[in-house]
C-alpha cells in the first residue's frame, strides 16, 4: 500500500506525496482528474520501482502558493524536489496535464536526472490543424464524450455526486484553469524545445481521445530526438484506466528496452 506524507520543499510549499515500492525512482504525475486517475499506473510501476506520486498543489484541498501559476512552475517544483532528495536515474510518467509537466521537466533537466520519459495522452503543445478543444466550455457529458472511448460507462452526472465531491471537483478544475491556461492547455514554446529532451521517450495514446487526438500525438512524438508512439485501441484520454492490460504491456516493453540498453552500456 502507498505511504502518504508531506514534505516541506519551500517555506511556502509542502508537497503531498504517496510513495510505494522499491528500486528505480519513478515520478508519476496526474492530470486534471487528480491522483486517483493514476493510482493504477502507480501500483503497476511499484512492482519494480520506487514510485512517487504527488498531489499537485491546489488539488484535493492542498495549498497552492500564489506564485505557482503555470505548468512551468510545477515542472521546476518537481525538478527541485528530485534534486533535493538526491535522486538519479528517474523515470517520469505523466498523464494529460501530468504529461505536459513531465515534458517541461525534461527540457529543463540540465543535470540529467531524468533518464526515462512516458507521456500518456499529454496536452502541452500547439499542433496546427489539431486544436485542443475548449475544455472549460464543455459540460460533464461533453467532457465524457471527448475523454472516454466508452463515455456511457464513465460519465458521472454532477447532479448525483455528493456535495463534498462536487466541491472538490470544482476546486480542482479552478486550479487546472490557473495552471493550464484558458482555453489553451499548451505552451507555444514547448514544441520547439522538445528536441533538447534527449531521453528515450514513450508516448502512450488512446485511439479514441478527442481532447488530444492520435494525429496530435504523432506531432508530439516527432518532436523528440528519441521517441516511440504506441496507440492503445478502444481507449480515450486515460488508456491506463480503460485498457490497463494493453497500456501496461506497452509500458513494460519500453522499460525492458531501457533496462537492456542500460545493461549493454555498462
How far lies 165's CA from each of 51, 138, 156, 160, in Å?
A: 26, 19, 12, 10
Kindly give the parts of the chain with pLDDT less than 70.
263, 265-266
pLDDT the model gives residue 184: 84
Contacts of 55 by beta carbon, 8 Å cutoff, 6+ apart: 16, 17, 18, 30, 34, 35, 62
Helix axes 71-84, 163-180, angle to 10 degrees: 90
pLDDT the model gives residue 183: 76
Rounded to whole angstroms, the Cα distance separating 35 from 55 reads 6
Is the Cβ–Cβ distance between 132 and 184 less than 8 Å? yes
Q: What is the DSSP letter of 213?
A: -
Query: Scanning the structure block, which residue is given the C-alpha cell 514554446?
Result: 189
Query: How is the chain split into domains, by residue range?
Result: 3-261
Q: What is the DSSP letter of 14?
A: E
Is the Cβ–Cβ distance between 54 and 17 less than 8 Å? yes
Main-chain phi, psi angles of 140, to 5 degrees: -60, -40
pLDDT the model gives residue 262: 75
Rounded to whole angstroms, the Cα distance separating 7 from 78 reads 12
Is the Cβ–Cβ distance between 138 and 217 less than 8 Å? no
Give pLDDT tens digits for 224-239.
Answer: 999 999 999 999 999 9
Q: Which is the CATH superfamily of the domain at 3-261? A: Alpha/Beta hydrolase fold, catalytic domain (3.40.50.1820)
pLDDT the model gives residue 266: 58
pLDDT the model gives residue 1: 77
pTM: 0.97
Rounded to whole angstroms, the Cα distance separating 200 from 118 reads 9
pLDDT the model gives residue 230: 98
Count other C-beta atoms under 10 Å from residue 173's C-beta. Answer: 15
Strand partners, 54: 17
pLDDT the model gives residue 261: 79
Amino acid at each position: 500500500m502507498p505511504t502518504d506524507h508531506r514534505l516541506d520543499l519551500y517555506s511556502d510549499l509542502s508537497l503531498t506525496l504517496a510513495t510505494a515500492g522499491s528500486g528505480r525512482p519513478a515520478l508519476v504525475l496526474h492530470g486534471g482528474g487528480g491522483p486517483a486517475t493514476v493510482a493504477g499506473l502507480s501500483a503497476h510501476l511499484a512492482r519494480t520501482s520506487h514510485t512517487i506520486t504527488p498531489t499537485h498543489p491546489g488539488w484535493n484541498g492542498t495549498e497552492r502558493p500564489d506564485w505557482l501559476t503555470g505548468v512551468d512552475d510545477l515542472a521546476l517544483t518537481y525538478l527541485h524536489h528530485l534534486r533535493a532528495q538526491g535522486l538519479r536515474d528517474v523515470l517520469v510518467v505523466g498523464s494529460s496535464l501530468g504529461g505536459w509537466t513531465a515534458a517541461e521537466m525534461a527540457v529543463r533537466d540540465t543535470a540529467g536526472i531524468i533518464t526515462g520519459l512516458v507521456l500518456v495522452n499529454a496536452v502541452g503543445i500547439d499542433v496546427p490543424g489539431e486544436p485542443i478543444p475548449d475544455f472549460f466550455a464543455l459540460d460533464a457529458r461533453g467532457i465524457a464524450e471527448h475523454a472516454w472511448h466508452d463515455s456511457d460507462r464513465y460519465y458521472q452526472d454532477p447532479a448525483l455526486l455528493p456535495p463534498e465531491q462536487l466541491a472538490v471537483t470544482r476546486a480542482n478544475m479552478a486550479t487546472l484553469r490557473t495552471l493550464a491556461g484558458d482555453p489553451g492547455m499548451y505552451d507555444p514554446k514547448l514544441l520547439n524545445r522538445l528536441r533538447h529532451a534527449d531521453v528515450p521517450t514513450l508516448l502512450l495514446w488512446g485511439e479514441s481521445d478527442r481532447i488530444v487526438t492520435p494525429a496530435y500525438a504523432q506531432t508530439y512524438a516527432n518532436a523528440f530526438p528519441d521517441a516511440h508512439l504506441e496507440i492503445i485501441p478502444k481507449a480515450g484520454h486515460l488508456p491506463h484506466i480503460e485498457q490497463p492490460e494493453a497500456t501496461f504491456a506497452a509500458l513494460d516493453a519500453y522499460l525492458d528496452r531501457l533496462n537492456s540498453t542500460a545493461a549493454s552500456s555498462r
